[in-house]
């Protein structure tokens, strides 16, 4: 089992280029199932979840060729509509093939994702909304058996709760439905905007009519296209927090600052000096880190995917802070590990109380989920001595070349077997 050896204390200084967004790439890869034409995708991050999604597409019959940083996908022989548990269980975004398979073939058997460390990850909102497009489904032995005998029929659907995945699944499905679909109370994360841009370039008829309402008119044919996936705002936010944490000075390149405005404003409030250009952000961490209270929320609120990383930063603040996790029911798995490093964090329901002025101590640690694992790296680079982080397969699901990128700006991280 691979581990990371992390030596502290370091100050990060230099330049980091952001990779493609995992959470934009996954729905876009699923959406390629709508097409029989050649699709070339650029800037996909080299991370495990992308490999898993590509294996899932191949298991459905997609032909996938790699050409350096470009992936060419063709589905003309695409005949299977079965997405197996073995693939979906390790990457919950596998449920995103349900919408396109139903749209294209009128039937699908897709494994329920199952839970993970951060929560039970239900898909009831996806299924209820798909049934409004004419889908009939049954859950049998952990699989969704779905079909739409008359094909998908456009409808007006209001999501009962904001859900990134359900919004993506329904947007993709509605692209080939007969007639018009209006989706309201949609999630509007930048990754969803990137998916919509991809689908429009593919020839789909989609228009945002209000902030959280989208209108989709089904089409019969789609085009060949090549598309460059957007940069990863969570990766960018992680490195910004790393700079603030180590009183470092980083230039983060390849990211549009506008899509992480909330995070930038919070880091400025905490005391970091930040300047930004069209496609880059320069951050200088401050000696004094001011405390702040945060609650996670759907975009444009503070992202739940940066909650663990921000918690590490607030341990170094001058006073007590609070974080409320409003999106997932169990996203404090990193707290126990941080407390073993000397943090003083207490949990009551979905609220964490974080004592400030903490001096982290190096320790042997266990990663539990993707974002928790990166928070342990952040704590370890500010801890005197050598920390070991186990189960880093969690990390490799979503951060491309993380130790290479951090070592280039002064970290001392070694991957060991
Ligand atoms: C996406 O997950 C992201 N994953 C998550 O990132 C991210 O944390 C999350 O959105 C919130 O921003 C990808 O994009 C691949 P949701 P998703 O549907 O779509 C509940 C990472 O670290 N819910 O917006 O699964 C759900 O349990 C990952 O990169 C239902 O109850 O999130 C959660 O409490 C982790 N029923 C809340 O809604 C449903 O049918 C938000 O979930 C669907 C969701």
* C-beta of 356 in contact with ligand 1 (< 6 A): no
Q: Are 395 and 367 in contact (CB under 8 A)?
A: yes
Where does 229-358 show beta strands of DSSP type E? Answer: 249-253, 273-277, 280-284, 294-295, 321-324, 345-348, 351-354
pLDDT for 93: 94
Tell which residue, 276, 280, 282, 275, has the closest CA to residue 248. Answer: 282
pTM of the model: 0.97
* pLDDT value of residue 78: 62
Asked whether the predicted pLDDT for residue 261 surpasses 80, the reply is: yes
If pLDDT is split at 50, 70 and 90, which confidence band does 116 have?
Answer: confident
Mean pLDDT of 348-361: 97
What's the pLDDT at 273? 98
Domains of the chain: 3-19+231-416 (3.65.10.10), 22-228 (3.65.10.10)
Question: Which amino acid residue places its CA nearest to atom 26 of ligand 1?
Answer: 121
Residues paired with 217 in a beta bridge: 180, 205
Other C-beta atoms within 10 Å of 393: how many?
14
pLDDT in tens, 322-339: 999 999 998 999 999 999
pLDDT at 331: 94
Whether pLDDT at 284 is above 90: yes
Distance of CA 198 to the CA centre of its chain: 17
Torsion angle in degrees (nearest 10) through CA of 236, 121, 393, 60: -100
What pairs with residue 323 in β-bridges? 294, 352
CB–CB of 154/180 below 8 Å? yes
Instruction: State yes or no: pLDDT of 114 exceeds 80.
Output: no
**In the predicted model, is pLDDT for residue 115 greater than 90?**
no
C-alpha distances (whole Å) from 237 to each of 104, 108, 144, 250, 265 are: 37, 37, 35, 12, 12
Taking alpha carbons only, the member of 186, 134, 176 closest to residue 155 is: 134
Taking CA atoms only, the protein residue closest to ligand 1 atom 35 is: 305
- Ligand 1 pocket mutation, candidates 185, 262, 305, criterion most atoms within 8 A of CB: 305
Per-chain mean pLDDT for the chain: 96
For CA atoms 244, 249, 253, 258, give the dihedral sign. Answer: positive
Residue 327 has a pLDDT of: 97
Do residues 221 and 243 lie in contact, with contact meaning Cβ atoms separated by under 8 Å? no
Structure tokens at 355: 């004592």
Percent of the chain with pLDDT over 70: 99
Stretch 93-116: mean pLDDT, rounded?
92
| 116 tagged catalytic | yes
In whole angstroms, how far apart are CA 410 and each of 124, 190, 244, 250? 45, 31, 14, 11
Using alpha carbons, list the distances in angstroms from residue 377 to 239, 294, 361.
11, 21, 12
Q: Which of 23, 238, 398 to mutate to test the pocket of ligand 1 (most atoms within 8 A of CB)?
A: 23
Long-range contacts of 55-58 (CB under 8 A, 24+ apart): 55/87, 56/83, 56/87, 56/88, 56/91, 56/94, 56/97, 57/29, 57/30, 57/32, 57/33, 57/97
Q: Is the pLDDT of residue 356 over 80?
A: yes
pLDDT above 90: percentage of residues in the chain: 92
Which of 116, 186, 204, 315 is catalytic? The answer is 116
The residue behind tokens 């699989």 is: 143
For the purposes of burial, counting CB atoms within 10 Å of the CB of 220, is it exposed (0-12), middle (13-18) or buried (19 or more)?
exposed
Confidence of residue 240 (pLDDT cuts 50, 70, 90): very high
Mean pLDDT, rounded, for 125-151: 96
Using one digit for the tens of pLDDT, what is the confidence trace for 6-45?
A: 999 999 999 999 999 999 999 999 999 999 999 999 999 9
Please report the pLDDT score of residue 77 as a whole number.
66
Of 22-26, 51-55, 116-120, 279-283, minimum mean pLDDT range = 116-120
Identify the pLDDT of residue 81: 94
């Amino acid at each position: 089992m691979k581990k990371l050896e992390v030596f502290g204390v370091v100050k990060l200084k230099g330049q980091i280029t952001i990779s493609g967004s995992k959470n934009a790439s996954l729905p876009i890869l699923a959406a390629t199932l709508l097409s029989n034409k050649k699709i070339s995708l650029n800037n996909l991050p080299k991370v495990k979840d992308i490999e898993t999604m590509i294996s899932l597409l191949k298991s459905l019959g997609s032909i996938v060729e790699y050409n350096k940083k470009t992936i060419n996908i063709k589905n003309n022989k695409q005949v299977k509509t079965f997405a197996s548990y073995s693939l979906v269980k390790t990457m919950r975004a596998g449920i995103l093939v349900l919408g396109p398979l139903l749209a294209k073939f009128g039937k699908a058997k897709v494994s329920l994702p199952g839970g993970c460390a951060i929560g039970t990850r239900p898909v009831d909102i996806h299924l209820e909304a798909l049934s409004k497009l004419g889908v009939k489904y049954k859950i049998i032995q952990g699989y969704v058996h779905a079909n739409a005998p008359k094909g998908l029929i456009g409808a007006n659907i209001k999501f009962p709760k904001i859900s990134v995945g359900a919004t993506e699944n329904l947007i993709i499905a509605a692209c080939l439905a007969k007639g018009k679909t209006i989706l309201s109370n949609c999630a509007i994360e930048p990754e969803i905007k990137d998916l919509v841009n991809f689908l429009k370039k593919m020839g789909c008829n989609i228009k945002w009519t209000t902030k959280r309402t989208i209108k989709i008119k089904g089409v019969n044919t789609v085009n060949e296209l090549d598309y460059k996936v957007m940069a990863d705002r969570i990766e960018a936010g992680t490195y910004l927090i790393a700079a603030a944490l180590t009183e470092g000075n980083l230039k983060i390149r390849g990211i549009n600052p506008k899509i992480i405005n909330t995070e930038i404003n919070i880091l400025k409030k905490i005391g970091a000096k930040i300047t930004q250009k069209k496609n880059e952000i320069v951050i200088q961490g401050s000696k004094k880190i001011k405390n702040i209270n945060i609650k996670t929320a759907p975009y444009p609120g503070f992202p739940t995917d940066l909650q663990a990383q921000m918690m590490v930063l607030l341990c170094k603040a001058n006073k007590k802070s609070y974080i409320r996790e409003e999106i997932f029911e169990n996203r404090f798995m990193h707290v126990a590990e941080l407390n073993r490093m000397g943090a003083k964090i207490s949990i009551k329901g979905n609220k964490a109380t974080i004592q400030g002025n903490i001096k982290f101590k190096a320790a042997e640690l266990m990663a539990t989920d993707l974002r928790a694992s990166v928070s342990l790296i952040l704590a370890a680079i500010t801890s005197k001595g050598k920390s070991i982080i186990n189960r880093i397969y969690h990390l490799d699901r979503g951060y491309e070349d993380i130790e290479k990128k951090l070592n280039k700006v002064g970290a001392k991280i070694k991957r060991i077997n």
